[in-house]
Amino acid sequence: MKRLAALFLAVWLLLLMGCAASRQLEQVCGAENWSSVQLVERYDRTGEEAVPLSPDAVSPEALRALLHEAYAKPAYASAQLPVPCIQLFLSCADGTLCTLAVGANGRVVLTAHSEGSETASYWNTGSSALYDALRQIELLSMVLRFMQIGMAAYLVDICGGMAREFLEAKKAIPILMMLLCLAGRLFWGISVTKLFLFCLAAGAVDLLIHKPQKEVE
Is residue 109 included in any domain, yes or no? yes
Q: Which domain-ending residue is among 97, 117, 138?
A: 138
Could you list the residue range(s) of the whole structural domain that residue 107 is in?
22-138
Task: Give the range among 46-50, 129-133, 209-213 with minimum mean pLDDT.
Answer: 209-213
Is the pLDDT reported for residue 16 higher than 70? no
**Contact status, residue 94 vs residue 115, Cβ threshold 8 Å:** no
Same domain flag for 32 and 115: yes
Which residue, 98, 106, 99, is CA-closest to 71?
106
**What is the per-residue DSSP string for 121-182?**
EEEE-SSSHHHHHHHHHHHHHHHHHHHHHHHHHHHHHHHHHHHHHHHHHT-HHHHHHHHHHH
Same domain flag for 30 and 64: yes
What is the Cα gyration radius of the chain? Answer: 28
pLDDT of residue 106: 93
Same domain flag for 163 and 69: no
CATH number at residue 90: 3.30.1490
Same domain flag for 179 and 75: no
Same domain flag for 133 and 182: no
Which residue, 80, 129, 81, 89, is CA-closest to 113?
89
CA atoms of 204 and 166, how far apart (whole Å): 17
Q: Which domain-ending residue is among 138, 168, 184?
A: 138
- Return the percentage of the chain with pLDDT > 70, whole number: 82
In this predicted model, which residue has the larger pLDDT, 71 or 199? 71
Same domain flag for 59 and 123: yes
- Residue range 164-176, pLDDT digits in tens: 777 777 767 777 7
Same domain flag for 32 and 126: yes
Q: pTM to 2 decimals?
A: 0.59
Contacts 24+ apart (CB under 8 A), 3-10: none
Same domain flag for 28 and 129: yes
Same domain flag for 155 and 122: no
Same domain flag for 31 and 62: yes
- Residue range 116-149, pLDDT digits in tens: 788 999 999 999 999 988 888 767 666 766 776 7
Q: Which domain-ending residue is among 138, 163, 185?
A: 138
CA distances in angstroms from 168 to 101, 157, 161, 171, 172, listed in the order given: 56, 17, 11, 8, 11
Helices (H), the chain: 2-21, 25-28, 60-68, 129-169, 172-187, 192-209
Which residue, 146, 131, 108, is CA-closest to 44?
131
The identity of residue 107, as a single letter, is R
In this predicted model, which residue has the larger pLDDT, 44 or 157? 44
CA-CA-CA-CA dihedral for 17, 77, 72, 104, to nearest 10: -140
